[in-house]
Amino acid sequence: MPIEKITMPKLGESVTEGTISNWIVSVGDVVNKYDPLAEVMTDKVNAEIPSSFSGKVKELIAKEGQTLEVGEVICTIEVEGDNSQEEQPANEETEEKAAAPINTDTSQKARYSPAVLRLSQEAGIDLTLLTGTGAGGRITRKDVQKAIQEGVPQGKVDEKVPANGSNVPADPIPKKETSVHNVQTQAGDKEFPITGLRKAIASNMVKSKHEIPHAWTMIEVDVTKLVQYRNKVKDSFKKEEGYNLTFFAFFVKAVARALKEFPQINSTWAGDKIIQKKEINISIAVATEGALFVPVIKNADEKSIKGIAREITELANKARTGKLTVDEMQGGTFTVNNTGSFGSIQSMGIINHPQAAILQVESIVKRPVIKDNMIAISDMVNLCMSLDHRVLDGLVCGRFLQRVKEILENTSEETTPIY
């Protein structure tokens, strides 16, 4: 019967790979066209991969946690029904589901999957000392993980005969003490496996730091008028609109205005050329307990402060509930990060590849400043900018920040409408 291949789809602009975080189906399951097959993570979004066909799941080629490039085969589907009792390929999912309470068959004990081999080698576990719970006594990923957490059963040690043929029992295999990076663990330490999403974030950060020569600059801004304006209208705004008017919305709007005047900042490095983007799409960083998402406010220069505030609220809520779409995560041309929400007053952001710059908005704090040769108390904020030195130089970035400063310091009820 015809076998069709399901491949890793392209889940966004500049996305070249994805990580299988969870299989929704198992071998033998009957699926309809468009039914979800697996959950996949990229550095930009979490999504489900739908089936392109109706039929029976024939083989799960990709493993959970495995990263594949766009276009690589992740599974196969038998399009038409088949009544034959064809043996299904062995894999971790079918092994673990096929395990019986009492398993005396050990015909498969010496067959190890690549995932099991990799995990045991990283942990220093001798697979010959383990009792497999999979079909035919095969050792599964869960068996290795149990050995890592609890240690190899002591009763199994005497069964191993040293290579020299002597009767001296082999030393027991200790619990895992070091990782592949030789980081020692001590009593009481806790270890947490790296999730696919965290791996994707790490990969993108490493790529950005390795490929982009970062430079950094900072400017301080007196936002006393902005604070007074926002505090005056925030309660009525919340009552009328149903969501908060945050300071961050004013900063995003100011950046969008300045980008329109300094389009060089709104660019990306493309190897043999620099591409200056027409649209001003502001990426905003949204942190959850275990991940960082960067949804995008499209055409931010065309939106009012009210519209930007609404989008910030909606995108943040979607990120924290796992409902962001692919479209909402792609197309960003410049990133604004609200690091001040954590109390930070100075930071050096890593550029959101392949953009050319990122702006960190720090905490607004009251500080003594000199005005008209007198000491005054003002609301001050630091704006910290990381830039791709292949694309941008200090002169244009300095002028850009000066323009953002000018806009913010002149934000008031008379100059800046919210609606």
Q: Which helix (H) or strand (E) holds 240?
A: helix 224-241
Q: Which two tokens stand for residue 64?
A: 């959970």
Pairwise CA distance, residues 315 & 280, whole Å: 17
The answer to whether 45 and 14 are in contact (CB under 8 A) is no
> Strands, E, within 179-295: which ranges?
214-222, 267-269, 274-276, 282-284, 286-287, 292-293
Pairwise CA distance, residues 213 & 273, whole Å: 16
pLDDT at res. 89 = 40
Q: Does the pLDDT at position 155 exceed 50? A: no
Among 329, 291, 119, CA closest to 198? 291
Of residues 387 and 324, more confidence is placed in: 387
* Lowest mean pLDDT, pick from 38-47, 49-58, 94-103, 327-336: 94-103
| Mean predicted confidence (pLDDT) in 235-262 | 97
Active site residue 327: no
Q: Please, which pLDDT band fits residue 273 given cuts at 50, 70 and 90? A: very high
Domains and CATH numbers, the chain: 3-79 (2.40.50.100), 205-410 (3.30.559.10)
pLDDT at res. 174 = 44
Active site residue 214: no
Of residues 57 and 161, more confidence is placed in: 57
pLDDT at res. 112 = 63
Pairwise CA distance, residues 330 & 328, whole Å: 6
How does pLDDT run across 92-139, given as a tens digit for each residue? 444 444 333 347 555 555 556 556 666 776 667 777 788 887 656 777
* Lowest mean pLDDT, pick from 5-19, 27-41, 327-341, 366-380: 5-19
| Mean predicted confidence (pLDDT) in 24-41 | 86
pLDDT at res. 209 = 87
Pairwise CA distance, residues 22 & 310, whole Å: 32
| Mean predicted confidence (pLDDT) in 5-28 | 83
Catalytic residue among 105, 158, 327, 393: 393
pLDDT at res. 133 = 79
pLDDT at res. 42 = 75
Question: How many percent of the chain have pLDDT more than 70?
Answer: 79
SS3 of residue 367 by DSSP: strand
- Those residues whose C-beta lies under 8 Å from the C-beta of residue 168, and which sit 6 or more positions away, are 162
How does pLDDT run across 164-218, given as a tens digit for each residue? 444 444 444 444 444 445 677 788 888 877 766 677 777 778 888 888 999 999 9
The structure's pTM equals 0.62
Among 71, 17, 109, 365, CA closest to 222? 365
The answer to whether 110 and 145 are in contact (CB under 8 A) is no
| Mean predicted confidence (pLDDT) in 208-232 | 95
Mean pLDDT score of the chain: 82
Among 5, 7, 19, 15, CA closest to 63? 19
pLDDT at res. 167 = 44
Of residues 70 and 44, more confidence is placed in: 70
Alpha helices in 139-195 (DSSP H): 141-150
pLDDT at res. 190 = 85
The answer to whether 174 and 184 are in contact (CB under 8 A) is no
Q: Which residues pair with 385 in a beta bridge?
A: 217, 359
- Those residues whose C-beta lies under 8 Å from the C-beta of residue 44, and which sit 6 or more positions away, are 11, 12, 15, 294, 326, 329, 330
- Those residues whose C-beta lies under 8 Å from the C-beta of residue 142, and which sit 6 or more positions away, are 96, 133
Catalytic residue among 29, 35, 214, 389: 389
**Mode of pairing for the β-strands spanning 357-361 and 334-337:** parallel
Q: Please, which pLDDT band fits residue 78 given cuts at 50, 70 and 90? A: very high
